[in-house]
Copies of this chain bind each other. A is one copy, B any other.
Amino acid sequence: MTEPEPLPPLSRGPLREQIRRVLLDGLVAGRWQPGERIVERRVAAELDVSQAPVREALRELEALRLVESAPNKGARVRDFDVRDLRESYQVRAVLEGLAADLAVPVFAGDVRVLEEHTRRLHQAAAAGDVTAQIRHAVAFHRAIVAASDNRLLLAVWESLGVEVWTTLSLRVYRAELHENAEDHEPIVAAFRRQDPRTGEIVRDHVLSYGLPPAPAPDQA
C-alpha cells in the first residue's frame, strides 16, 4: 500500500455528510441569510436527493445552533447577534481552561505540536490568508482540548462549532479577527514550563476574544 492517493473519492461518505457540508458552505458563504427558511424539499430537489438525508443534515446544523426549528415549522437560519459570541467565548473559556489544566501533565513540557500550529498561524498571517488564520488558530485551541484526554470535554467543545462560528462572526457583522499569532506565545510558554496557572492563562486568553475591540492602551 504505497499509493499515496488511490483516487479523489468522487462521492465519499454518507450522503447526509456531503449534504451537511453543502449546507455549511452555503451558510458560511451567505447563500442563506439569517432568518431565512431552509426548506427540506427545495434543498433535496436542488441536490437531487431525497428529503431524508437533508433532514438529518439539518438536525446536525441545529445541534451547532446554526439553524433553529420548531415542530412542523421547519428550519430557519439563526439570527446571530453579539450576545451569541459573548456566550460562546464564556463557555469556551472555562472549557479550554479545564482542558489546559488537564493537558499540562499530558504535554509534559513537550510543546512541539503547539509550536507547529503557531508557526502555521504566523505563516497564514504573513500571507494575509484570513481563512487559514482561523483554521490554524482553531487547530491550536483544539489541540489543547484534545490533549486533555477527556473525551466528553472534546465532544462538547467540538459541538460548539468554533471554526464555523468564528468565520461567520467575521462575515455577518465584520467582527475583528482576534486570532493573531503573538497572543498564543504566552500559552505555549506556559505549557512548556508546565505552569500550574496554565488553565487560568488560557481561560483569560479565550475570554479576551469576547471583549470589546480592546481599549486604547495609551492611558496609564
Task: Give chain A's interface residues, CB within 8 Å of chain B.
Answer: 13-14, 52, 55-56, 59, 63, 65, 71, 84, 87-88, 90-91, 93-95, 97-98, 102, 150-153, 155-156, 159-160
Contacts and interface: CB of A to CB of B under 8 A. Distances in A.
A151 B68 CA distance: 13
Most buried by B among A56, A84, A94: A94
Contact of A91 (B63, B71, B153): B153
Please report whether the interface of chain A is mostly helix, strand, loop or mixed according to DSSP. Answer: helix
Nearest to A87: B152
A94 B90 contact: no
Nearest to A155: B65
Contacts of A71: 13-14
Contact of A153 (B55, B65, B87): B87
Contacts of A152: 65, 84, 87-88, 90-91, 160
A90 B152 CA distance: 9
Most buried by B among A13, A52, A93, A98: A98
